[in-house]
A and B are shown apart, each in its own frame.
Chain A
Amino acid sequence: MVGTTPVNPLESGEVDEKPALKIGVLALQGDFIEHIQMFRKLGVEAVEVRKPSQLAELDGLIIPGGESTTICRLIDLFGFEDELRKFVDDRRALWGTCAGMIVIARELTDPYPEPLRLMDISVSRNWFGRQVDSFEDEFEFSGIEGGPFLAVFIRAPVVESVGEGVEVIARLEDGKPVAVRSENLLATAFHPELTDDSRVHEYFLAMAREGVANRR
């Protein structure tokens, strides 16, 4: 069967001159499949990550939406922390959505869980209240063309403060930061993977490509 396997032109690099990327989505718990489907729609290889040893082969990793207490506990139980730190130090792209934003924060205004301190942001969990307070909003996203972005907030966090070098790329009307970037790190309080709009995923792929270029 090996000889008959079709070659993906994006992976082989024959069509696209951009480097072929391999993106992972942390699949310990949460809506990882929605992210994977979004990347596959964009023609990018995307895999579920359940073991720390898988990180070495990736150009980018998403920590998806889910329950941050659960994801933090499983990251700890299955020994991801050191590998994740190495991943970020190696300038590979990392994106946390909602729970993922909480997981990578430097500190939380809540007593638990214990975040990984990968990105210099302070985050408040469930900032808008309970599920009945979940909502949608539209706003501009700095660095993304094509008009306002629809954002779905589900028991969502917000960024309370950012450290030096962290750029706020989207805010709610009242000024609360809900998307932030610092070099190879991206965090969004909302869920682009629950819409049909792939612009934030494409933005992240560009970050992953920068990382590949920097590592060469």
Chain B
Amino acid sequence: MDTTSTPGTTATNGTQAKAWREGSKPEVGNWREKSGLAQMLKGGVIMDVVTPDQAKIAEDAGAVSVMALERVPSDIRRDGGVARMSDPDLIDGIINAVSIPVMANARIGHFVEAQVLEALGVDYCDESEVLTPADNSFHINKWEFKMPFVCGATNLGEALRRIGEGAAMIRTKGEAGTGDIVNAVTHAREVLGEIRKIQHMDEEELMTEAKNLGAPFELVLEVHKTGKLPVVNFAAGGIATPADAALMMQIGVEGVFVGSGIFKSENPPAMADAIVRATTHYNDPDMLAEISRGLGDAMAGLEANKLTADQRLETRGW
């Protein structure tokens, strides 16, 4: 599939990342299709599910995609031990249960888990800090795959390093499995604030900024020119109510991942439905008031600020 003869991509499609990459090595997956699927998910909610039945509830509620997991993050946190890629039978079961795209997690740096997920027909791989990292220094070379990847980031440097490695979608990291929105807010503000700062820099300042961020210069230049990340940016980690989802959307992300927040709440179908509606009408307080009624209890939650350093998942990623 040759993409070099095409008339060019829109500014939102990571042209710098693509051009930069084409100079060195042929890519396997087509960048426009990989980042394009993320464009189709925008304004939507991606839900963590652990069974085909939950996947069906998510789809019926209007989820744009489901993340097929063996355990939701709050259970991974509770159970401890090594968290790995899900069982292929579970992923197959979920793929067969729904018609929306199915995502699945691979451990950071575990490119063989990613190869397995691609072979299973998974539509998007999350190289995720929620699982136990398989590599203490390096992430997966995501250009080698036709399956697109989404990666977490706590700041702009981390986001651009992941895009440099081939991630076609970013999610700002919250503290997964807590039901506490504070870290999702902190990191979304961090990423978006750094983008605004770079946008207003002189070109002379960009190389030093790239050095300080630990980010590829070409991508810093693209952010400077476009004022946005080269790929779609969702929020994840700690979203537990419709208001949480709308808060992240108003801060400026393009969609949300909800992990434990749905199936650890008192009434999962109602919560799933409400978060989907709130993500569409995030800017309409009257609508949000209506949507927030009668949902039962949200997930119990853990205060993220009280976690010790070794309990934090968000710091995983290099």
Q: Does B3 contact A (CB under 8 A)?
A: yes
* Residue in A27, A110, A134, A196 whose beta carbon sits within 8 Å of that of B9 in the complex: A196
Q: Does A18 contact B (CB under 8 A)?
A: no
| B contact residues around A154 at 8 Å (CB) | 33, 36-37, 40
Per-residue 0/1 for B133-153: is the Cβ within 8 Å of any A Cβ (1 yes, 0 no)? 000000000000011100000
Assembled-state Cα–Cα distance A154/B147 (Å): 12
| Cβ contacts A to B, 17 pairs, < 8 Å | A27-B43, A32-B42, A50-B284, A69-B100, A73-B62, A74-B276, A74-B280, A77-B277, A131-B124, A132-B123, A136-B1, A136-B3, A136-B30, A152-B36, A153-B33, A194-B13, A195-B9
Q: Does A98 contact B (CB under 8 A)?
A: yes
Nearest 3 pairs of A and B residues by beta carbon: A131-B123, A134-B33, A31-B39
Q: Which B residues between 1 and 49 are near A, CB-CB below 8 angstroms?
A: 1, 3, 6-10, 12-13, 29-30, 32-33, 36-37, 39-44
Task: State how many angstroms separate the Cβ of B285 from the closest Cβ of chain A.
Answer: 14
Assembled-state Cα–Cα distance A197/B8 (Å): 9
Assembled-state Cα–Cα distance A34/B9 (Å): 11
Residues on B lying within 8 angstroms of A by beta carbon are 1, 3, 6-10, 12-13, 29-30, 32-33, 36-37, 39-44, 59-65, 99-101, 118, 121, 123-124, 146-148, 276-277, 279-281, 284
Residues on A lying within 8 angstroms of B by beta carbon are 27-34, 37, 50, 65-67, 69-70, 73-74, 77-78, 98-99, 110, 112, 125-126, 129-132, 134-136, 150, 152-155, 191, 193-197
* Residue in B7, B13, B63, B147 whose beta carbon sits within 8 Å of that of A70 in the complex: B63
Known interface pairs A34-B10, A131-B124; A66-B62 also in contact (CB < 8 Å): no
* Residue in A70, A131, A136 whose beta carbon sits within 8 Å of that of B64 in the complex: A70
A194 touches B30 (CB 8 A): no
Task: State how many angstroms separate the Cβ of B250 from the closest Cβ of chain A.
Answer: 14
| A contact residues around B60 at 8 Å (CB) | 73
* Residue in B33, B40, B44 whose beta carbon sits within 8 Å of that of A98 in the complex: B40
* Residue in A67, A130, A135, A136 whose beta carbon sits within 8 Å of that of B40 in the complex: A67
Assembled-state Cα–Cα distance A34/B40 (Å): 10
Assembled-state Cα–Cα distance A129/B95 (Å): 12
Task: State how many angstroms separate the Cβ of A28 from the closest Cβ of chain B.
Answer: 5
* Residue in A29, A37, A99, A191 whose beta carbon sits within 8 Å of that of B36 in the complex: A191
A30 touches B33 (CB 8 A): no
- Closest residue of chain A to B123 (Cβ to Cβ) is A131
* Residue in A29, A37, A69, A195 whose beta carbon sits within 8 Å of that of B43 in the complex: A29
| A contact residues around B59 at 8 Å (CB) | 69
B148 touches A131 (CB 8 A): yes
Assembled-state Cα–Cα distance A5/B123 (Å): 47
A125 touches B99 (CB 8 A): yes
B101 touches A70 (CB 8 A): no
Assembled-state Cα–Cα distance A135/B30 (Å): 8
* Residue in B10, B146, B280 whose beta carbon sits within 8 Å of that of A195 in the complex: B10
Assembled-state Cα–Cα distance A193/B13 (Å): 11
A50 touches B281 (CB 8 A): yes
| B contact residues around A74 at 8 Å (CB) | 62, 276-277, 280
B41 touches A67 (CB 8 A): yes
Task: State how many angstroms separate the Cβ of B311 from the closest Cβ of chain A.
Answer: 34
A194 touches B39 (CB 8 A): yes
| B contact residues around A73 at 8 Å (CB) | 60-62, 276
Assembled-state Cα–Cα distance A208/B121 (Å): 40
Give me 13 other A-B pairs in contact (C-beta within 8 A), A153-B33, A195-B9 excluded. Answer: A28-B280, A29-B43, A31-B42, A50-B284, A77-B62, A131-B123, A131-B148, A132-B118, A132-B146, A136-B6, A155-B101, A194-B36, A196-B10
B1 touches A135 (CB 8 A): yes
B1 touches A31 (CB 8 A): no
Assembled-state Cα–Cα distance A154/B35 (Å): 10
- Closest residue of chain B to A33 (Cβ to Cβ) is B42
* Residue in B40, B276, B277 whose beta carbon sits within 8 Å of that of A30 in the complex: B40
Known interface pairs A194-B10, A194-B39; A66-B32 also in contact (CB < 8 Å): no
- Closest residue of chain B to A71 (Cβ to Cβ) is B62
- Closest residue of chain B to A70 (Cβ to Cβ) is B62
- Closest residue of chain B to A129 (Cβ to Cβ) is B121
- Closest residue of chain A to B121 (Cβ to Cβ) is A130
Assembled-state Cα–Cα distance A125/B8 (Å): 27
Assembled-state Cα–Cα distance A69/B32 (Å): 23
Known interface pairs A132-B146, A136-B3; A65-B40 also in contact (CB < 8 Å): yes
Assembled-state Cα–Cα distance A115/B123 (Å): 24
A134 touches B30 (CB 8 A): yes
A29 touches B30 (CB 8 A): no
Known interface pairs A34-B39, A67-B44, A132-B147; A110-B99 also in contact (CB < 8 Å): yes
